[in-house]
Amino acid sequence: MRFTEGYWLRSQRMQEHYAAQVWETEHLEDGMRLLVPLRKVPTKGDTVNVPCLTVTFRAVAPDTVSVKIVHFEGYNTHKPAFSILEDPQRVEIAETEDTIVMETGSLCVRVDKKDFGYSFEKDGTVITRCGFRNLGYMEWDRQPSTMLPGDHYLDETRMKPYIVNELSLEAGECIYGFGERFTSFVKNGQSVQTWNEDGGTASSIAYKCIPFYMTSRGYGVLVNHSGNVEFEAASEKVGYTGFSVQDEAMEYLFFYGPSLKKVLSRYTELTGRPALPPAWSFGLWLSTSFTTSYDEKTTSSFIQGMKDREIPLSVFHYDCYWMREFRLCDFDWDQRLFPDPEGMIRRNHEKGVKVCVWMNPYIAQNTALFHEAMENGYLLMRADGKGVWQTDNWEYGMGIVDFTNPDAYRWFQEKLRALCRMGIDCFKTDFGERIPVNVRYHNGADPVAMHNYYTLIYNRCVFEVLEEEKGKGNAVLFARSATVGSQQFPVHWGGDCMATYPSMAETLRGGLSLAMSGFAFWSHDISGFESTATPDLYKRWAAFGLLSSHSRLHGAGSYRVPWAFDEESCEVVKYFTGLKCALMPYLYQLAVNAHNTGIPLMRPMILEFMDDPAVRWLDMQYMLGGSLLTAPVFSEDGTVDYYLPQGIWTDFFTGETKQGGKWYNGRYDYLHLPLYVRENTLLPVGSCRTRPDYAYEQDLEIRWYQPAEEGRAQVEIVNQDGQRAALVHARKDRNRIFVSVEGSLPGLSFRVPGQEQLQIKIEQC
């Protein structure tokens, strides 16, 4: 929200009140509470008719401080609250006439009492500060009230209240995050609203809006507010990041790293770590596509076609029209097209293929399910009291399930449970963004604040069913919408992109921004959703998609099987699917690490190389874990510009080495792209190229890339259940390599690419 018109002028729609001084302090065990008048108060006699804020600083976790700013404490809009798993810390507070200093861990909060302001500091160095006119209470569009008899007698409600806070930025400091944003990866200069909406991937509108950002100075900020949070990221004031909420109170959490990985770890520790997806979900998913005509014969031919071409297929997805037209979502198979769904699912399983079906929480009027839900009060109601809220926007007369009603929540789960017992392995939880605000919820929650929050309880509802029916560790979604905490229910995909190279690039930007917002697992529609890709684009996007966390062939209007493009597309999809399967010992260990720490698989370069200023703006290449760097091809001529950070990098395909700290350019055929291995990497490569879920610990090859003289390295090997199978240590001593294995790795082989003359000794501990 912009409250100014240029730097000097305030908007005439605004009556501003800025924090002026600290009048009173209260020391708490885990923080401090300050009474902050919104104008200077010279004497006790000047304290009447003075609005104040209560500002509370609390150490809610190691190196994490909550800042809560309150105007009217009695203001209650029944907003849903994100679950924050606090671990309060004791603090030390020192107060003088002019300042208050609160220390917690390595973080210090310093408050100026005379001219209100505060700073977050580390070892005497300011990380960021809130100073002159950076904290305020704004009355927007205030209408006059009266002290005379009348409709507006002492009416304090005739305006929109806002709390605004701004934190300073240093020269060259870059801002990242805010969810899956398809605009520039570095958010400086952008105005960002965290309001989920179905807007595709080609605009500032986003499906997954997260009121959390990080900066290149090693800190992060979460505005703990489930409604719309408006950010001015070096936009309204270019030296500050501002954030505001329409409310009488605001809380934000400040996370200090100093590494961005540590910030993400702290953030996900408080808001929820991701569940570990099953190993089979990392394989190739194939969809029926949307708005296409298909039946069991069609889908069976796709599965058989993949088998005939020896393309490993892990999951087959049935999109919208597994149900009848005008009857979404009643969860009944269209018997005209699928007369024996149980048998079909069983036959797919016999071919080694898992089954996913599309769904959403919108129920068309033309279904028995709608009438059952309406009669039992399971749908969102109109705010004017005139019955169920309905729309024709998507499905005729549809209503929306009210997940705040415990009975509706369980009822919806029972419908999904029946599908699970039929043999369905997972669900694509589509939509969840088009949630109206002119409605009434069963629990009385504020409908505006519920707009984003809805997706959290929707996807949790579905995920719980899968965990109960399939077992923990075997549950996975394919979700589109998200908010704070949704990272607990993977996987999320990037929504409706176009079949163009620019859209492929904006898709990657969205994924990298989502990774900087606490989401570890992410996918996208290979070759684009809207329109149909050229064979050239299809092959380039397939390589990118199969070097992503999760990989799905999906689109609208045409089938996305590779032979529909050309036979070379079949070879490309087969090759990169096989490569991903072979990399699963590495990838699944990253998944386990993400489950435990919140660090994503696909990592923006800044996340891995914070100290390299050259990587701050890079958004057309990324790290896959800490050891593999890849740069997708975004051009028809196959050329790529890419940057290698300091060190020696080895081309995964050719074994050629390159010195880092430089830019490179190359031209690539369809079976290659820049894929480089970081020096001193122990890379486990599996023995299987035909499926993602196998015994990673058997017949494993470990490659040690560019070990330093007298260097050391280690790598953990997990099995397909995510449990540690072994820990491998390697040590180089001149021309000899000593390898020790804690655990069992039958059939282990070990080599040093480019240095095959080295003597290798392996010891099983």
pLDDT per residue over 497-510, tens digit each? 999 999 999 999 99
Which domain range does residue 505 map to? 279-359+406-438+445-582
CATH code for the domain in which residue 543 is found: 3.20.20.80
Specify the pLDDT at position 149: 84
- Residue 99 domain-assigned? yes
658 and 686 part of one domain? no
Q: What is the pLDDT of residue 389?
A: 98
Query: What are the tokens at 657?
Result: 């080495």
- pLDDT at residue 293 in the model: 93
**Residue 251 belongs to domain with CATH number:** 2.60.40.1760
In whole angstroms, give the CA distance from residue 312 to residue 574: 7
Q: Say which residue, 35 or 8, is predicted with more confidence.
A: 35
| 610 within a domain of the structure (yes/no) | no
Domain membership of residue 482 (yes or no) is yes
Q: Do 161 and 300 sit in the same domain of this protein?
A: no
Per-residue pLDDT of 204-250, as tens digits, reads 999 999 999 999 999 999 999 999 999 999 999 999 999 999 999 99
Buried b or exposed e, range 411-420, using 16+ CB within 10 angstroms: bbbebbeebb
CATH at 710: 2.60.40.1180
Q: Looking at 678, 706, 724, which one is the last position of a domain?
A: 678
Q: What is the pLDDT of residues 253-274, one digit of tens each?
A: 999 999 999 999 999 999 999 9
pLDDT of the residue at 76: 81
Q: What's the whole-model pTM score? A: 0.97
The structure tokens listed for 323 are: 């149900």
Closest CA to 65 of 221, 260, 254, 271: 254
pLDDT of residue 502: 98
Contact between 650 and 754 (Cβ < 8 Å) = yes
What's the pLDDT score for residue 10?
85
Residue 264's pLDDT is 98
pLDDT of residue 151: 77
Report the catalytic residues.
Answer: 430, 433, 496
Alpha-carbon span 281 to 354, nearest angstrom: 9
| Axis-axis angle for helices 447-470, 406-422 (nearest 10) | 40
How much is the pLDDT for 157? Answer: 74
- Residues 437-462 as b or e (16 or more Cβ within 10 Å = b): eebebbeebbbbbbbbbbbbbbbbbb
Specify whether the CB–CB gap between 56 and 34 falls below 8 A.
Answer: yes
- The whole-number pLDDT of residue 142 equals 83
Shared domain check, 291 and 228: no
Q: Strand, coil or helix: what is 50? A: coil
Q: Is pLDDT above 90 for 643? A: yes
Which element (helix H / strand E) includes 344? helix 341-350
Question: Mean pLDDT throughout 565-579?
Answer: 98
- Strand 249-256 with 284-287, pairing: unpaired
| Residue 557 belongs to a domain | yes
Residue with tokens 């070759």: 527
Q: Is the pLDDT of residue 597 over 90?
A: yes
Q: Is the pLDDT of residue 77 over 80?
A: no
Does one domain contain both 485 and 470?
Answer: yes
Q: What percent of the chain has pLDDT over 90?
A: 93
DSSP state for residue 406 in the 8-state scheme: H
Alpha carbon distances (Å) from 546 to 132, 396, 549, 732: 50, 37, 8, 33
pLDDT surpasses 90 at 550: yes
Paired tokens of 64: 């994490």
Count of domains forming the chain: 4
The residue among 659, 678, 697 that closes a domain is 678
pLDDT score at 110: 98
Residue 388 lies in a domain: no
Q: Is residue 656 located within the same domain as residue 711?
A: no
Residue from 619, 546, 540 nearest 576 by CA? 546
Please tell me the predicted confidence (pLDDT) of residue 147.
78
pLDDT for the residue numbered 321 = 96
Same domain, 690 and 645: no
- 247/337 same-domain check: no
Do 753 and 635 share a domain, yes or no? no
Among 221, 237, 271, the domain boundary falls at 271
pLDDT in tens, 131-179: 999 999 999 888 878 778 877 777 777 789 999 999 999 999 999 999 9
Residues 164 and 267 in one domain: yes
Please answer whether residues 229 and 195 qualify as being in contact, where contact means their C-beta atoms are separated by less than 8 angstroms. Answer: no
| pLDDT (tens digit per residue) in 467-478 | 999 999 999 999
Q: Please state which of the ranges 137-141, 427-431, 527-531 shows the lowest mean pLDDT.
A: 137-141
Summarize the confidence of residues 532-543 as an average pLDDT.
98
Same domain, 315 and 223: no
**What's the pLDDT score for residue 709?**
87
**pLDDT tens digits for range 342-372:** 999 999 999 999 999 999 999 999 999 999 9
Q: Answer yes or no: do 649 and 724 share one domain.
A: no
DSSP state letters, 210-270? EEEEEETTTEEEEE--SS--EEEESSSSTTEEEEEESSSEEEEEEEE-SSHHHHHHHHHHH
Q: Write down the mean pLDDT value for the chain.
A: 96
Q: How far apart are CA 656 and CA 639, in angstroms?
A: 18
Give me the phi and psi of 212, to 5 degrees please.
-140, 135
Domain assignment present for residue 612? The answer is: no
* Residue 630 belongs to some domain of the structure: yes
Choose between 211 and 734: higher pLDDT.
211
Segment 325-351 mean pLDDT: 97
Q: Which residue has the tokens 């979502």?
A: 329
CA distance 662 to 614: 9
Q: What average pLDDT score do residues 745-755 get?
A: 95
Radius of gyration of the chain (CA): 28
Say if 619 falls within a structural domain.
Answer: no
What confidence score (pLDDT) does residue 153 get?
A: 78
* 161 and 172 together in one domain: yes
pLDDT band of 723, cuts 50, 70, 90: very high
pLDDT score for 469? 98
DSSP assignment of 270-299, as one string?
Answer: HH-PPP---GGGGSEEEE--BS----HHHH
Q: Write the pLDDT tens digit of every residue in 672-693.
A: 999 999 999 999 999 999 999 9
Query: Using one digit for the tens of pLDDT, what is the confidence trace for 99-115?
Result: 999 999 999 999 999 99
- Nearest one of 678, 695, 675 to 687, comparing CA atoms: 695
Q: What is the pLDDT of residue 1?
A: 86
pLDDT in the model for residue 75: 87
Helix, coil or strand: residue 538? helix
